[in-house]
Amino acid sequence: MSGRLILVRHGETEGNVAKLLDTRVPGLPLTERGAAQAKTFGEGLLDPPKVLFSSAALRARQTANYIEAATGVPATVLDGLHEVQAGDLEGQHSEEAHRTFQRIYGAWHDGDLTQRVPGGESGQDVLDRFLPAIVQLRETYLTPESGDGDVLLVSHGAAMRLVGRTLAGVQPPFTTNNHLDNTETIELVSMPDGGWECIRWGRFTPPFGYDVAPTSDDPMG
């Protein structure tokens, strides 16, 4: 084992507090609580990561910068790792907007990646921009020849859950019902056969058959 790919959800923003569909880049900054979450996460790491990356969104960059300050590992922005783009639903927080987003998002987890958020992305769009970065990171940092150490990637809840479901085969409704809190992680291990094994999803570890009821958390978790 050369290390884990650790996907980290960014710290709290005002959009999270207000339960907004907040997806545009650069987006809102961290709250004071979000900054404290990011500092605590970085200071709580048992070992510094081998490398540290983030999406281009402001909240992800700020979270990565706090982790950098705690670990000394420089943070680098990677393209393609931003949140699912909510299109016409951007900035909304109504029950109707949430239901529309969750219906389409749930369809992606059930295998229909062609459905599209009105004016926004399809599930395939999200994977087509996100997964090439994962392939690059795997080939560069997670091979037996690259040495031990984790790859830490600060990203976004909805995108992370879709990627985790796709790479490691974790099944819905666990993947759709179990939202990630701010600075929670999805942790993946690269397998010799080219696949991935998920060893942590938020507060859960395998097997991921837990009966998790839908939550009222912010929709992007």
Catalytic residues: 10, 83
Sequential DSSP letters for the chain: ---EEEEEEPPPBHHHHTT-----SS-PPBPHHHHHHHHHHHHH-SS--SEEEE-SSHHHHHHHHHHHHHH-PPEEE-TT-SPPP-GGGTT---HHHHHHHHHHHHHHHTT-TT-B-TTS-BHHHHHHHHHHHHHHHHHHHSSGGG-S--EEEEE-HHHHHHHHHHHH-PPTTHHHH-PPPTT-EEEEEE-TTS-EEEEEETTB-S-----PPP--S-TT-
